[in-house]
Amino acid sequence: MNVLDTLENQSYSLECIFASYYEGYTRLGKKNYKLLHKREGGNYYMKEKTHGLSLWPMWELAFNDLFSDQARYQFVTVEGLDKIGPELIGVDKYDGDTVFVIKYHYQVEGTLYISSRDYSILKHVTTVSGKGFKNRSELIYKKHGDRYFPYAMTGTYFHEYKVDKSKRYLKINNEVFLRTIKTRDVHVLEADKESWYPRSVEYNDKFWNLYYPKKLGD
């Protein structure tokens, strides 16, 4: 995650390794997470106020197939499809496949790219804006076995904050990539919000130098 303070031209970066658990596509299916490692760099004037809350590295994964609530707004359920009122707006090419492009507007403005071969969702783009913010996320699904899973997620966010009676503007870019997936004998992660937040994890120099060493110039 990269954050740019556009007023002071200060940047801040947060790299994280985390595990996630998903019960599946049921109405009350929950997701839980455990942050395993973190590495930070740069300066961020809001870090003490929001660290672990608004700067949440699991954001894209948490909401990759949901509108806003983990139990109520899944578009992959029949109830969800009834609510969003999907509209076919055309046919396009994506990743070597012919896809149906479907728009909806419910909680967010969304675009779904659905394979004409097996009707799977290949890409999901959402945008939402309001007073002081504008957010966009793009989620790409890849096939694993006979099913599709969220593989690569990107988010771009513009946020406005008021600090010391003056407006400050942030541009936040986040990228999340799936490295491994396990669909059998899955280890269940229990809900523990403290394990979700970067503030709860200490920097492990040996881990980062061994697996993700900084390149010259980083």
Mean pLDDT, residues 43-61: 68
Mean pLDDT, residues 111-115: 94
Rounded Cα gap, residues 114 and 121, in angstroms: 5
Mean pLDDT, residues 70-94: 75
Smallest CA-to-CA distance from 143 within 96, 75, 92, 213 is with: 96
In this prediction, residue 136 carries a pLDDT of 93
Structure-block tokens of residue 42? 């740069």
In this prediction, residue 86 carries a pLDDT of 87
- Cα atoms found within 13 Å of the Cα of residue 27, Cβ hemisphere only: 5
Structure-block tokens of residue 102? 């479907």
In this prediction, residue 52 has a pLDDT band, given cuts at 50, 70 and 90, of: very low
In this prediction, residue 150 carries a pLDDT of 85
* Higher local confidence (pLDDT), 83 or 108: 108
Cross-strand pairs, 133: 130, 159
In this prediction, residue 68 carries a pLDDT of 46
In this prediction, residue 103 has a pLDDT band, given cuts at 50, 70 and 90, of: very high
In this prediction, residue 96 carries a pLDDT of 87
Domain boundaries, the chain: 2-211
Rounded Cα gap, residues 129 and 108, in angstroms: 8
- In the predicted model, what is the mean pLDDT of the chain? 84
In this prediction, residue 54 has a pLDDT band, given cuts at 50, 70 and 90, of: low
In this prediction, residue 7 carries a pLDDT of 77
In this prediction, residue 77 carries a pLDDT of 64
Indicate whether 66 pLDDT > 70: no
For tokens 């396009």, what's the residue? Answer: 92
In this prediction, residue 218 has a pLDDT band, given cuts at 50, 70 and 90, of: low
Helix/strand/coil (H, E, C) string of the chain? CEEEECCCCEEEEEEEEEEEEECCCCCCCCEEEEEEEEEEEECCCCHHHHECCCECCCHHHHCCCECCCCCCCECCCHHHHHHHCCEEEEEEEECCEEEEEEEEEECEEEEEEEECCCCCEEEEEEEEEECCEEEEEEEEEEEECCEEEEEEEEEEEEEEEEECCEEEEEEEEEEEECCCCCCCCCCCCCCCHHHHCHHHCCCCHHHHHHHCCCCCCC
Indicate whether 208 pLDDT > 50: yes
Over residues 115-157, the pLDDT tens digits come to 999 999 999 998 989 988 999 999 999 988 888 888 899 999 9
Indicate whether 62 pLDDT > 90: no
Indicate whether 11 pLDDT > 50: yes
* Higher local confidence (pLDDT), 166 or 142: 142
